[in-house]
Amino acid sequence: MIYTVPCPSCGAPVSFRSAASVMAVCGYCRASLVREADAVRDIGKMAEAMEDYSPIQITTSGVWNNRPFGVVGRLQLRYDDGGWNEWYLVFEDGGTGWLGDASGQYTIMLDQGALPAPAFGDLRPGQAFNHAGASFIVADLRTARCTGGAGELPFAVGQGWEARVVDLRAGERFLTLDYSDADPPRAYLGQAVTLDALKCQLLRSDDAILKGAGRLRGTIVNLACPGCGAPLTFPAGVATQLVCPACGTRSDATGDQAVLIEKHQAQEQVSTPLALGDQAKIDGTEYSLIGRLRCQETGEPATWTEYLLYNARQGFLWLVESEEGWDKVRVQDIWPETSGDSVVLDGTRYEKLYDYGSEVIHAAGAFNWRVKVGDRVEITDWQAGEKKLGRETSAAEITWSMAESVSAETVGKWFSKTLGGKPQGLSTTRGDTAELAKLAVRYSLIVLFLNVPIALAGGIENWILVILAVGLLWWPIISKNTQEE
Ligand SMILES: [Zn+2]
Ligand SMILES: [Zn+2]
């Protein structure tokens, strides 16, 4: 039974289609109206959601587990690393749920009510938590703020509302503990879905998104670096955390402009066989190289390079170049199950290889999280034949990925480049030395040009000064080469 009231702020009709809806946002003046007995109370204006290229809208419908649903409300949330939407669903049978959309990764979650659980501050990535007959592992912890909303919602959301959520995983199952308004938290249980599997109707058309945003999610766009003005290239709405390759400035390009996070981060310059902007054709799909990381094993000299590639339909792909060769790496949507020292995925047992730490020593380009030099993660690798599973644990999250070894020749074919036999992952300083040598030659000539006439006119002390000045210019190169041998 649809309940409709005139908006107390502007008089436009506002509908509550679900009896479970506690609040509705006036579509005309954006007043947030909380339903109380036979009246509504205006608790202030709700901001309009920022354009984020989501194809879902209020009125979108679909079917999940044979249960038809309609989208009746929206919450848009943001945290440091990015943002996501929670679309509020009302099923035909009267039930409710949430369709989460994080840059094109979708989940459907159902409310389980309050659940006794450790306090928000006591949970860490990797911790186990038993629920519904499964051992869930804490995947990430986030504090996000509401940046906009629309339609009907099952609770009142005011200006500056903050969500504190913990995501847990068990195989294909997702569990979210929501500490926003209560302790113990509210639990939501669900799984990953695709819009195709949901048979979604009344999605926003590409034309409508283009009209609203000027482009589609994943379109490669350019913005000026807020530090130096150099063009920064990234896929819109997907990888919006930018590190300027020219000046090291970090910025966030979630909106229309690159917003400064940190200026001129000093970092090591590296030369790598693959560069930002390189195009590759991998297994028939065109990828753009959008980000590059150089990492170092904690407390060890070993370094390696990680390249982030993107395709609008296939999403992200990593290529890792190390002393051992090249690996093609994808983040795992389905987590393996732990059994003693080994892990099992799709019936295959992976044996543990080693634990080590990794630190970012260079970053450039676009990423889907706020990467910076000095970021550290703990890594554990497992192996089964040619395949390797890796688990990365940081203070805020855990990710699992699958690596497959590929030959340098194959990588070369993908990029239409010839890649030298031995990967260059470990020879950072060689490139630097060549650059420094060029500069040293140039400045030596300047020093000699300016000082030789003076030295000729003076005594032996002037000659010593000239030799010292030239020696100082060459010292970093001589010392670096000595260290490398
Ligand atoms: Zn109104
Ligand atoms: Zn810059």
Cβ burial, residue 156 (10 Å; 0-12/13-18/19+)? middle
Q: Give the residue from 96, 78, 69, 74 showing the smallest Cα distance to 87.
A: 74
CA of 68 to the centre of ligand 1 (A): 30
Cβ distance 30 to 158 under 8 Å?
A: no
Starting from the CA of residue 11, give the closest ligand. 1
If residue 443 lies in a helix (H) or strand (E), which one and from where to where? helix 428-457
Biggest CA–CA distance in the chain, Å, is 103
Report the half-sphere exposure of 457 (CA within 13 A, side-chain side): 5
Q: Give the residue from 176, 181, 177 showing the smallest Cα distance to 162.
A: 181
Would you mind telling me the total number of residues written for the chain in this entry? 485
CA of 230 to the centre of ligand 2 (A): 5
Starting from the CA of residue 46, give the closest ligand. 1
* Model confidence band, residue 112 (pLDDT cutoffs 50, 70, 90): very high
CA of 252 to the centre of ligand 2 (A): 13
DSSP 201: B
What's the average model confidence in pLDDT over 193-200? Answer: 95
Cβ distance 241 to 371 under 8 Å?
A: yes
Minimum mean pLDDT range among 242-246, 408-412, 471-475:
471-475
Every domain of the chain and the residues it spans: 3-211, 274-415, 428-484
Starting from the CA of residue 364, give the closest ligand. 2
| Mean pLDDT across the chain | 88
Starting from the CA of residue 265, give the closest ligand. 2
Q: Specify the residue for token string 């919450």.
A: 75
pTM: 0.82
Regarding predicted confidence, which is higher, 465 or 147?
A: 147
Name the CA radius of gyration of the chain, rounded: 27
Q: How many other C-beta atoms lie within 10 A of the C-beta of residue 344?
A: 15
Starting from the CA of residue 7, give the closest ligand. 1
Q: Tens digits of per-residue pLDDT, 31-76?
A: 999 998 888 999 999 999 988 899 999 999 999 999 999 999 999 9
Cβ burial, residue 185 (10 Å; 0-12/13-18/19+)? buried
CA of 82 to the centre of ligand 2 (A): 21
Q: Tens digits of per-residue pLDDT, 266-317?
A: 677 788 999 999 999 999 999 999 999 999 999 999 999 999 999 988 899 9
